[in-house]
Amino acid sequence: MKRFQNSFLSDVAFLSFIVVCIVMTLFVSSDPNAYVVNVILLNAAFLIAIITYFSTMMTGLILNLLFIFGYGSFTIYQAVTLGDLVGTSNYFWLVMTPIVTVLAWLLTQTNRKLQEENDRLQRQSLSLAMIDERTRLKNTLSYQQDITTFMALSERYKIPLTLLVINVKYWDEIKRIMTADKFSSVLLEVSDISQSLVRTNDSLYLLNNENPTWGIVLFTDIEGAEIVIKRFKDKIDELNEYEFKEKYTVELQLRVGTAQYDPKNPVSPLELISVAKRTMEYDV
């Protein structure tokens, strides 16, 4: 509802601004004798509106007060010294210039609110998204929801549950010589390899796509997880020998950490990741 109101106000302000511009243009062209003066005043009105658009309403009000004071003094001077009558033109600019300023400020405010709302919705969408856009793998949010269920199943049916956490060795050095396209390619390729090596009842997650980190939840114990790790590393070594060197000009080496869930000493989903990451130190 609030977004609709902001959008409606923005549309009204924009259309009103266009109508006011047309009215001022017609007024300027209607009096050839005062054409130069009216053009100067029109430019002054637009200048104040532009400054207000990129600053604040307070700035616009101050500029309008200065304009009214200056133009009012000029009008009184002409009336007193030259005997000119105070006509419609004088009142027109004293009224229309503040109106243009208010409409410019209203456009600024409504557009800013719409942008803030859009940014908020984008952040909310990212925080609620459960699938990584590039790899189509489940992300950390999805992992936290799934692993809670897996932990409950492990406790209830006495099924061992192990988390593998995988990342790329020396990634900080590798990414300095890798383009964005190659980065995406590495992400997809390792994700595909990981997906092909897990069973249908196991789950694969992309825990971090900046410093590529994958998580694999296995319904097995540490010994069973070691078999998966060996298959995974053998596959990477095979690809390093024939494909990766040509594609990426570097060898991809992976580090794997493991953590088995212990129902007697339960931990949170993120703590389980932390435990698995600590065991990476021994994977040299």
Would you state the pLDDT for residue 217?
93
Tokens of 232: 């995974």
The band of 252, judged by pLDDT with boundaries at 50, 70 and 90, is confident
Q: How far apart are CA 23 and CA 141, in angstroms?
A: 55
CA pair distance 49, 56, nearest whole angstrom: 10
- Whether 184 and 175 have beta carbons less than 8 Å apart is answered as no
Closest among 243, 270, 248 to 259, alpha carbons compared: 270
Q: Say what the pLDDT of residue 260 is.
A: 94
Residue 234: pLDDT band by 50, 70, 90 thresholds?
Answer: confident
**What are the counts of helices (DSSP H) followed by strands (DSSP E) for the chain?**
10, 4
The dihedral built from the CA positions of residue 65, 66, 67 and 70, taken in this order, carries a sign that is positive
pLDDT in tens, 42-83: 889 889 888 988 888 888 888 988 988 888 887 787 777 766
Tell me which of 128 and 25 has the higher pLDDT.
25
Question: Among 283, 280, 150, 129, which residue's Cα sits nearest to residue 218?
Answer: 150
Of residues 58 and 184, more confidently modeled = 58
